[in-house]
Copies of this chain bind each other. A is one copy, B any other.
């Protein structure tokens, strides 16, 4: 995922899960409180509880039947075939062609793509060498949209800081012409990744000629992490890269010991004109209202250019479309349409989702009933995170309580859904996968984002949770309530 504050909530959830595991008392209290606050009609409650056997059937067929292990196998074939899929790359477009053909072949309905303009950034040769106080290679990855250095690179002294505040307090003369090394402490992804996102701009404002930023992770095996960054309006664009936690900490120490720290940085990275990419759409069309009150299941197909994007977000994309396929194969066609969307260019900032939003704006209130996403890992699922109004929450909690066979009844709020934020932030109700993703940022945007992270059983449970939830919402007698802001 690209997201900013999304994972804060997921981490909080992990804490809650632990708490719950050790105390039934707390579970009961939460449930009582919810029931007291909700005023769902007995009819609706009974209607929802009537789906208990559907959940059992879906769960059984996916966990124990012919679908067992299929998501993992299919995802492995896909990632082995295409590897990384960065926006703007041939690899991504070929993988979209492949998915469109595959979805048709697998019998999904209304399979098509919808266009979106996306960034086209090229990572060239990248190298950083510590020149003083001693020679050493520095592990780095340039950041998406970063400009390059002049050919042959730049050699400059370093100014190392832990925070933006520290940098701002330095006289400009101390930063001018230098390479700023940001070595922020790990304070969660939201806080620490701000240095990746804005480090170059903040350094440039002080006259620096490049920014090297600690990778946004709590744990490292000499592994640099890439990601997106943005130049503020009007600042001189300077090269920006993430370096390993190990190197950031060491350089920070050297600088603070009073050493002259000098780095030779070479980055042949550059930006090209935007290109056209595509969101990939497929459906199980509703028996009663195929074109309105659609339930969306989604993940993004693009990735960074390191690793193979199995975790971010191959797993999320694949449980989304496989849920739709499995429902169809099981003959479970709900009243409303369930639509799988495989977003493009999430990593640069939801380019695919934003284009889709613009195209579908006119009738969006009628078109979208409920939106679901997985983009924070597909480790073992524990439940769903939700955003929506009180009434919607009451209905959602009733549905979630049916996920006992999957051991995935955990509720959290708000949803962590970067692509869907373009709707959810305006009042559309939605949900995201809650999973045991405490190691998510270890692999995030690194060479380590591989199939080794993905477990067949966890993917089966994830897809069963998505299929069950989407089916019930798409089949209910009522839409999920919403109040849309514009």
Q: A81-B134, A134-B83, A136-B83 are in contact. Are A250 and B220 (CB under 8 A)?
A: no
The answer to whether the Cβ of A306 comes within 8 Å of any Cβ in the partner chain is yes
The answer to whether the Cβ of A450 comes within 8 Å of any Cβ in the partner chain is yes
Q: Which of B76, B221, B253, B257 contacts A443 (CB 8 A)?
A: B221
The answer to whether the Cβ of A139 comes within 8 Å of any Cβ in the partner chain is yes
The answer to whether the Cβ of A245 comes within 8 Å of any Cβ in the partner chain is yes
Q: A76-B253, A134-B83, A245-B452 are in contact. Are A139 and B222 (CB under 8 A)?
A: no
> How many copies make up the complex?
2
Q: A222-B306, A223-B223 are in contact. Are A80 and B447 (CB under 8 A)?
A: no
Most chain B beta-carbon contacts within 10 A, residue among A91, A221, A442: A221
Q: A246-B452, A452-B249 are in contact. Are A447 and B81 (CB under 8 A)?
A: no
Please, which residues of chain B bring their CB within 8 A of the CB of A452?
Answer: 220, 245-246, 249
The answer to whether the Cβ of A146 comes within 8 Å of any Cβ in the partner chain is no
Please, which residues of chain B bring their CB within 8 A of the CB of A76?
Answer: 253
Q: A244-B447, A452-B245 are in contact. Are A80 and B250 (CB under 8 A)?
A: yes
The answer to whether the Cβ of A448 comes within 8 Å of any Cβ in the partner chain is yes
The answer to whether the Cβ of A254 comes within 8 Å of any Cβ in the partner chain is yes
Interface residues of A in 72-98 (CB under 8 A from B): 76, 80-84, 91
CA A40 – CA B262 in complex, angstroms? 62
Q: Mark A241-253, 1 if CB is under 8 A from B, else 0.
A: 0001110011001
Are A446 and B222 in touch, CB under 8 angstroms? yes
CB distance from A214 to the nearest CB of B (A): 12
CA A134 – CA B308 in complex, angstroms? 12
The answer to whether the Cβ of A265 comes within 8 Å of any Cβ in the partner chain is no
Most chain B beta-carbon contacts within 10 A, residue among A91, A222, A249, A250: A222
Are B249 and A451 in touch, CB under 8 angstroms? yes
Q: A76-B253, A246-B307, A253-B76 are in contact. Are A450 and B83 (CB under 8 A)?
A: no
CB distance from A185 to the nearest CB of B (A): 12
CB distance from A302 to the nearest CB of B (A): 16
Are B80 and A253 in touch, CB under 8 angstroms? yes
Are B448 and A223 in touch, CB under 8 angstroms? yes
Are A307 and B136 in touch, CB under 8 angstroms? no
User: Which chain B residue lies CB-closest to A244?
Assistant: B447
Please, which residues of chain B bring their CB within 8 A of the CB of A246?
Answer: 307, 447-448, 450-452
Are A250 and B450 in touch, CB under 8 angstroms? yes
Q: A450-B250, A451-B250 are in contact. Are A442 and B221 (CB under 8 A)?
A: yes
Are A221 and B134 in touch, CB under 8 angstroms? no
CB distance from A197 to the nearest CB of B (A): 22
CA A5 – CA B451 in complex, angstroms? 29
Interface residues of A in 133-170 (CB under 8 A from B): 133-134, 136, 139
Please, which residues of chain B bring their CB within 8 A of the CB of A249?
Answer: 450-452
CA A136 – CA B223 in complex, angstroms? 18
User: Which chain B residue lies CB-closest to A245?
Assistant: B452
Interface residues of A in 299-331 (CB under 8 A from B): 306-308
User: Which chain B residue lies CB-closest to A444?
Assistant: B221
Please, which residues of chain B bring their CB within 8 A of the CB of A446?
Answer: 221-222
CB distance from A212 to the nearest CB of B (A): 16
Q: Which of B222, B257, B451 contacts A307 (CB 8 A)?
A: B222
Please, which residues of chain B bring their CB within 8 A of the CB of A80?
Answer: 250, 253-254, 257
Most chain B beta-carbon contacts within 10 A, residue among A76, A82, A443, A452: A452
User: Which chain B residue lies CB-closest to A220?
Assistant: B448
CA A80 – CA B257 in complex, angstroms? 11
Most chain B beta-carbon contacts within 10 A, residue among A82, A446, A450: A450
CA A222 – CA B257 in complex, angstroms? 32
CA A220 – CA B221 in complex, angstroms? 8
CB-defined A-B contacts under 8 Å, sample of 15: A76-B253, A83-B134, A91-B134, A139-B447, A221-B223, A221-B442, A221-B443, A221-B447, A223-B447, A223-B448, A246-B451, A246-B452, A249-B450, A249-B451, A250-B308
Top 10 closest A-B pairs, CB basis?
A222-B447, A221-B448, A246-B450, A222-B448, A221-B223, A221-B221, A83-B136, A222-B446, A221-B446, A139-B447
Query: Given A83-B134, A91-B134, A246-B448, list of 4 further CB < 8 A pairs?
Result: A80-B253, A221-B446, A222-B307, A249-B452
